[in-house]
Structure formats: C-alpha cells, structure tokens
C-alpha cells in the first residue's frame, strides 16, 4: 500500500507503478492499462512542462474521451492546475472560464477541435493548444517522472467553476493537499479494492468527477466511461458491465425509477454506492438498496469549496422504515475536517449556518477578493483546532439522533438536476437579455422528493419576446440553468422583507401545471 | 403524432417549433442532453400511453428515429 502522506503527484506515480498491469480505463469498448495511460500522460506532460510555467493552468476542453482523462492526469502529474471547460457550456461562458483561470494551454479532443480554434481566436496568442494523443517521443522530461523535480507553483490541483451571483462564473481553486486530504479520508470511509469497476457519471466540470477519477486511480480500480448514448441509461450500463462502485446525484436514480429501470436484484455486483450533490431521499436509497442488494450506500455532502465531500452518513438497511427521516442526514465530518452549526451570534448552536474547517478547505475563489472575504472567515470556535472556515450558506440542524440535517439554503443558491446554480445569476442574465430591470427565476418543475428539475423565468415590462429571451439566456447560461419558459407578469410580488416572493410566483402561475 | 411530438420537444427543450426537424439528433444541441432526454421519454410515455424499454430509450437519439419507433408501436404518423 502506497503511503497516504506523500504529495499527490508522487502518490499517484507510485499507484500507477503498483497497478501497472491492471486496467485503468474502459472507454469505447477498449481497456487501457495503468502503464499505457501513464505512458500517454508522460508524453502530454512533457509538452505541458515545455509550454507552461509552474502555476499556469491547463484547460481541458474534452469530455468522455481519451484526451479528457489523459489531459487531467498529465496536468496533475506535471504539477499544473487543470481547468475543465465543458463543451456543453455556451461559448461566452467557456471564454469567461479560460480567461478568469488564465489558462495557458488547451487540451482538445475530436469533438472539441473546432471549438478550441474558436476559443484561441478570442483568447489570443499567449494560449497554446494540444491534442492529448501524441506521437511517441524519446525525450520524456525527467521532471515528469520524478515528483521531486516538480515545481507545482501555487500548489493548485484544479480550478472548478460554479455559478456566480453577479452573472460571471467563479472559479474555486483547490490545492493539491486538499485533494490528498480528501482521498485519504474517503479511502477510510468508503475504500475500494484494486480491480474494482467504477462508474464515471459526472461531467469533468462537476467536481464530483474528481472523486470518480482519482479515488479509482488511487486504488487500482478501473474507470468505466459511458458513451453519449450509453449515458441515457446509466443503470443499464452498470448492469451490462457488472460495475461494483457507483457514484451519482440522487436525481439519476430518481429518473431511473420513473423509467422502471430499478428492478430488484438488477445490480448484484455493486458493492459501494455513493450519492452526493443534492439531498438523498430515503425512498431513493431504499429503492437502490433493492436494486443493488449487496451494496453499501453512503450519502456524502460537501461544497466544491471544501473539496468534493466532507461529511458522510451510511444508509442503514436494517433500520425500520418508520424510524428513518424522509431524507438521509448529512452525517459526520471526515477525519481532519470539522462541520459546525453556527448561530446568528457566531457561536456553535443547534440550528444555523454550517461552517466547514480543516485540511479540505480550499484557497477560495480566484481573483474574487470580495467573495472570499464574505465566504471564508478566520475565527476561533470553542473546541475546534481550525481557525479558517468556509461558510456554506446551508441551514443545518444538529440533531442528537441523526447528526447534521439539511434544512435548506440561507441564500438564493439552488440545485437543478444536482447542478449548483445561483438564482441571482439567472435573474441577472434575464434582466440583461429581456430589457427590463425586474426579473425573477423560480425553480420548476420540482419532483415529489423536492428536487428541482428546471427553472422558469418571470419578467415584468420586458421589451423582448419570450423566444428571444430564452435564446439570449442560452448564450450565457449552461443548459440546465436556462429557463424552460418565460412568463410576463404585470408586477413581481414582494415578501415581507421587500424581496421578490418566488413562492408566490410558483403558487400563482405554476401550481398544478 | 408528429404535432404532438413537436409540442413535447418545444415544451421540454424550450425549442422553437421550426427547430423541430427529422434531422435533429441527441447531443447536437445543448438543450438535448441526457437529462432532458429522460424528460422527453417520460412525456412521450404519458402522451402516447406507452411503456418504453431501455433499448428503445437508448435508441431514440434523433427525431426521425423516435418517429419511426412510435410508428412500429402502432402510433400513426400524422
């Protein structure tokens, strides 16, 4: 077993050596071994070292393709931050992400080649491009093979972009040591054996993909990547390949249930199932337990700012259904982390905002001091050794029986299909494209379990037509955050605090539809 | 059936009616991704009172393929 105390680059190199003959990646009906993947990462890594300076990020404009995985691995082993740039995002957002992160190199695949060219035209000559499938070369850099030579610059592992309240995405810079701390913690709570066949359900731009990729490769597992069409039936894909470790948002299972894909005993090989990204309804966990009768089920919780996930609660198969809460609690913090409920007086309390501290707390947002000051605080809390805290904005109750229980958001952040969005960002875009100063974004439809599947826009006094407003939103927002329809209203109702009353809009215009 | 399917696409994907053409394929536009595909499938099942198999769901990757498949299920194109 490779020591967990090593720097992440050295740790992964030793893992790739230890598991060299095992399969690391299954993609397009083809299996690639750890040795084969490492050899390709070394070629690309040498090019990365030649074209970028320490600390300069590498954009990965690739998805569900070999270049995507080689690109991520090569960047991390070269000591450079990687920045996933989702091909499904609008062009303007891709430009924002590459610019804010200051990417110096873009990795493309066949599907993104044209888009890469278009991006480079906007980003200018300082940004280079590379394909991840390179011819063999004899001069692999010794700096790639030996982590002791690696200058990791700022020490950033990756930069993940999330929705920002002002209309521009914000980049969370996660350090290499944050990732090491996460991988060590998750290996204790939810270990997998070498050879385990693991899902890869998440887009690279969703930080839960970092778990998929690096927990698998840190443990000798094999990452099973669904093709575009296979992604329409993830449960069928897991069944066909007898996958053993599952990770998704609960919505994926909810959707599979609605499509009658959850047959009892359908996934007998599954041993470990993790859910994260949105609350896990007990009914979904119960159905999954029937579908995969031999699996452990864990609910994970954590924002991108605290590196993938930071608390866990195991679903108890033997508990009587009546004794379970309707939603699986957030559980307990990982080792070397703390999760504290803080009241309005800034002191620990039974109900309040959840603050997170410890080795997984990231550097915060790049080039965004205002948000950093608002969200990351230096404070001593009685009984805790950590003095830097991330304020989650999650309203949480500390319950003696169930641990930490999610009660809702304290601001306008929301989840749509498990994706984190700021309703204020959608409203800002709505105002910009509709020619009005009054706009509201309301989550709808919402499933029985309370998970939002989409969003509807309300505008008052708009000068643009509905279809033009939606088209305008599409050029700024990811598809899941684009309003499904626009409703023109005479006035936006206000609540007692003088804010737009989204519940009233939902009840008046959407209830029963 | 064509008009009903068009309505489903317009509602679920927020498309303009004229963008609904036989050549439209899954993943060719950002609006038709794996999540919205499921919404389309559920809407089709409800509208035409069908229970689609997983092979059907994975195969329904273009408007033309969906129309053909619905026809084989006895729903007349019209």
The chain A residue lying nearest B34, using CA atoms, is A232
A232/B33 touch (CB, cutoff 8 Å), yes or no? no
Low-confidence ranges of chain A (pLDDT < 50): none
Cβ contact A294:A268 at 8 Å: yes
CB contact under 8 A, B35 and A474: no
Q: Is residue B78 part of a domain?
A: no
List of domains in chain A:
337-409 (2.30.38.10), 414-510 (3.30.300.30)
The answer to whether the CB of A63 falls within 8 A of the CB of A91 is no
Chain A residues contacting B via beta carbons under 8 Å: 88-90, 228-233, 236, 251, 255, 258-261, 417, 453, 467, 470, 474, 478-480, 482-485
Residue B65 domain-assigned (yes or no) = yes
pLDDT reported for residue A255: 86
User: How close A6 comes to chain B (CA, Å)?
Assistant: 39
Interface with A, mutate which of B54, B59, B60 (most A CBs under 10 A): B54
To the nearest whole Å, the CA of B31 is away from the closest chain A CA by: 6
Domain assignment present for residue B52? The answer is yes
Instruction: Establish if B19 belongs to a structural domain.
Output: yes
| Residues in chain A within 8 Å Cβ distance of B35 | 251, 255, 417, 453, 480
Within a domain: B77: no
Taking contacts as CB-CB distances below 8 angstroms, the residues of chain B near A260 are: 51
Size of interface A-B (CB pairs under 8 A): 56
The answer to the question of residue B12 being in a domain is yes
**Residues A500, A437: Cα–Cα separation, whole Å:** 13
Range of the domain at B39: 2-72
What does chain A come to in residues? 513
Nearest to A172 by CA among A183, A160, A182, A190: A160
d(CA A414, CA A426): 11
Chain B 32-51, residues with CB within 8 Å of chain A CB atoms: 33-39, 41-42, 51
- What per-residue confidence (pLDDT) applies to A322? 78
Which residues in chain B are closer than 8 Å to A470, comparing Cβ atoms?
A: 14
CB pair distance less than 8 Å for A479 and B30: yes
In this prediction, residue A147 carries a pLDDT of: 65
The domain tally of chain B equals 1
Cβ within 8 Å, pair B11-A484: yes
Q: How far apart are the first and last CA of chain B?
A: 5
Q: Contact A312/A190 with Cβ under 8 angstroms?
A: yes
Print the SS3 string covering A67-115.
HHHHHHHHHHHCCCCEEECCCCCCHHHHHHHHHHHCCCEEEECHHHHHH
Least confident of A446-450, B26-30, B71-75: A446-450
Residue B61 in any domain: the answer is yes
Question: In this structure, what CATH number is given to the domain that contains residue B65?
Answer: 1.10.1200.10
Between A88, A229, A236, which is nearest B30 by CB?
A88
Nearest chain A CA: its distance from B32 CA (Å): 9
Residue closest to A62 by CA, chosen among A243, A241, A225: A225
Are A230 and B58 an interchain contact pair (Cβ–Cβ within 8 Å)? yes
**Paired tokens of A276:** 């994260």
Interchain CB distance below 8 Å, B54 and A483: no
Contact yes or no for A482 and B61 at CB 8 A: no
A229:B26 CB<8 A: yes
* Candidate from B38, B39, B58 with C-beta closest to A229: B58
For A226, the closest chain B residue by CA position comes to: B34
Burial of residue A197 (number of CB atoms within 10 Å: 0-12, 13-18, 19+): buried
Q: Would you call A233 and B51 a contact, using CB atoms and an 8 Å cutoff?
A: no
Check CB contact of B57 with chain A, cutoff 8 Å: yes
Residue A390's nearest CA partner among A367, A358, A419, A368 is A358
In chain A, DSSP finds a helix count (H) and a strand count (E) of 15, 26
């Amino acid at each position: 077993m490779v020591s967990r105390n090593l720097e992440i680059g050295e740790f992964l190199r030793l893992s790739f050596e230890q598991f060299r003959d095992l399969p690391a990646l299954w993609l397009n009906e083809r299996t690639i071994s750890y040795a084969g993947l490492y050899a390709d990462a070394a070629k690309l890594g040498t090019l990365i070292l030649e074209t970028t300076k320490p600390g300069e990020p590498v954009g990965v404009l690739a998805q569900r393709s070999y270049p995507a995985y080689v690109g991520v691995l090569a960047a991390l082993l070269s000591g450079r931050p990687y920045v996933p740039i989702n091909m499904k995002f609008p062009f303007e957002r891709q430009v924002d992400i590459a610019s804010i992160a200051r990417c110096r190199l873009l990795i493309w695949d066949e599907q993104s080649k044209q888009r890469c060219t278009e991006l480079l035209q906007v980003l200018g000559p300082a940004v280079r491009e590379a394909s991840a499938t390179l011819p063999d070369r004899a001069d692999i850099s010794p700096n790639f093979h030996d982590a002791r030579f690696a200058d990791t610059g700022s020490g950033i592992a990756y930069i993940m972009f999330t929705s920002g309240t002002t209309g521009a995405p914000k980049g969370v810079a996660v350090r290499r040591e944050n990732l090491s701390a996460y991988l060590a913690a998750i290996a204790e709570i939810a270990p997998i054996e070498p050879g385990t066949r693991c899902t890869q359900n998440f887009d690279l731009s969703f930080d839960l993909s970092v778990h998929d990729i690096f927990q698998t490769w840190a443990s000798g597992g094999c990452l099973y990547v669904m093709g575009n069409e296979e992604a329409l039936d993830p449960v069928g894909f897991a069944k066909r390949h007898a996958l053993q470790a599952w990770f998704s948002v609960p919505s994926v299972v909810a959707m599979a249930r609605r499509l009658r894909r959850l047959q009892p005993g359908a996934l007998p090989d599954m041993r470990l199932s993790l859910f994260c990204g949105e609350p896990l309804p007990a009914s979904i966990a119960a159905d999954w337990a029937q579908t995969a009768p031999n699996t452990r089920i864990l609910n994970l919780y954590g924002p991108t700012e605290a590196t993938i996930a930071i608390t866990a609660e195991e679903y108890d198969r033997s508990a009587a259904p009546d004794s379970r809460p309707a939603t699986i609690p957030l559980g307990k913090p990982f080792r070397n982390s703390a999760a504290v409920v803080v009241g309005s007086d800034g002191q620990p309390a039974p109900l309040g905002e959840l603050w997170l501290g410890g080795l997984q707390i990231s550097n915060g947002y790049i080039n965004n001091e205002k948000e950093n000051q608002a969200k990351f605080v230096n404070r001593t809390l009685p009984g805790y050794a950590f003095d830097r805290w991330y304020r989650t904005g999650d309203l949480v109750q500390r319950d003696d029986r169930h641990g930490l229980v999610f009660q809702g958001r304290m601001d306008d952040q929301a989840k749509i299909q498990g994706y984190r969005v700021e309703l204020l960002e959608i409203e800002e875009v709505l105002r910009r494209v509709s020619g009005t100063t009054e706009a509201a974004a309301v989550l709808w439809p919402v499933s029985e379990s309370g998970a939002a599947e989409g969003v509807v826009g309300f505008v008052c006094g708009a000068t643009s037509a509905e279809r033009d407003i939606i088209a305008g939103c599409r050029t700024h927002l990811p598809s899941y955050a684009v309003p499904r329809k626009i409703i023109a209203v005479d006035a936006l109702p206000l609540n007692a605090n003088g804010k737009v009353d989204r519940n009233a809009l939902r009840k008046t215009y959407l209830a029963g539809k | 059936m064509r008009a009903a399917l068009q309505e489903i696409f317009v509602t679920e994907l927020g498309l303009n009616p004229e963008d609904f053409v036989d050549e439209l394929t899954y993943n060719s536009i950002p609006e038709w991704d794996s999540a919205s595909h499921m919404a389309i499938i559920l809407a089709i099942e409800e509208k035409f009172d069908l229970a689609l198999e997983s092979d059907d769901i994975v195969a329904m990757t273009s408007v033309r393929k969906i129309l053909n498949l619905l026809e084989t299920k006895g729903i007349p194109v019209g």
